[in-house]
Amino acid sequence: MTLDFYSFARGVVKGILTPLYRIKVIGVEQFPKDGGVLLCANHISNLDPPILGITAPRPIHFMAKEELFRVPILKNLINHLHAFPVKRGMSDRQALRTGLEVLKQGQVLGIFPEGTRSKDGKLKKGLPGIGFFALRTSAAVVPCAIIGPYRAFVPLKVVYGAPIDMAPLRERKASPEEATDYIMQHIQALLDQHR
């Protein structure tokens, strides 16, 4: 039921957003075909989650702010779209456990490491939660850059980078903050290369 709804919703949204924003997808062939994937992208618009949802080759589980789950109709909808709640501004252990479980089950966890949208389009400092997931699992870490102004008929780029080699950081037991910074450097490199 849920996967069918996800596929249906993906098709509808893709049919609307792809021509509207003239979406160009780069590097998607590097996206792992199976196994756990931690997808890390910059955050410039409320439309970022559906944009990733229609361009990534596999279904994505997103953390969504807890407030969205208080609206009954919206809660039902985003549950079917594989989202789960996270309390912003604090360490949410339940959300961390859920995220780890998604990755351990070999699925895709989508996260915007900045934690909130960037108003000026510049990449902000990432939160340590992303490093926590990268270090605590063997999931592939895929950086992604969303580039564009989100204006009708102005091309929007979605760039998927090659999986980041996190093994050295895992082996030397790097801190979550250090791992986050390392991932953010890869996202920034994609932004610099494709702007």
Coil, strand or helix at 182: helix
Give the phi and the psi of residue 40 in degrees, each rounded to 5.
Answer: -120, 120
Cα within 13 Å of Cα(46), Cβ side: 2
143 within 8 A of 52, measured Cβ to Cβ:
no
Phi first, then psi, for residue 31 (nearest 5°) are -70, 125
**Residue 150 and residue 147: Cα distance in Å, rounded?**
9
Backbone angles phi, psi at 24, to 5 degrees: -115, 125
Q: Which residues pair with 146 in a beta bridge?
A: 158
When pLDDT is cut at 50, 70 and 90, the band that residue 90 belongs to is: low
User: What are 93-138's pLDDT values in tens digits?
Assistant: 888 999 999 999 999 999 999 988 998 999 999 999 999 999 999 9
* Short-list 35, 37, 38, 23, CA closest to 113: 38
* pLDDT at res. 13: 95
pLDDT interval class at 3 (50, 70, 90): low
Q: Are strands 23-26 and 37-41 parallel, antiparallel or unpaired?
A: unpaired
Across 82-134, the runs of DSSP E, i.e. the strands, are 84-86, 108-111
Distance, first Cα to last Cα, the chain: 39
Instruction: State residue 1's pLDDT score.
Output: 41
Closest CA to 37 of 112, 128, 104: 104
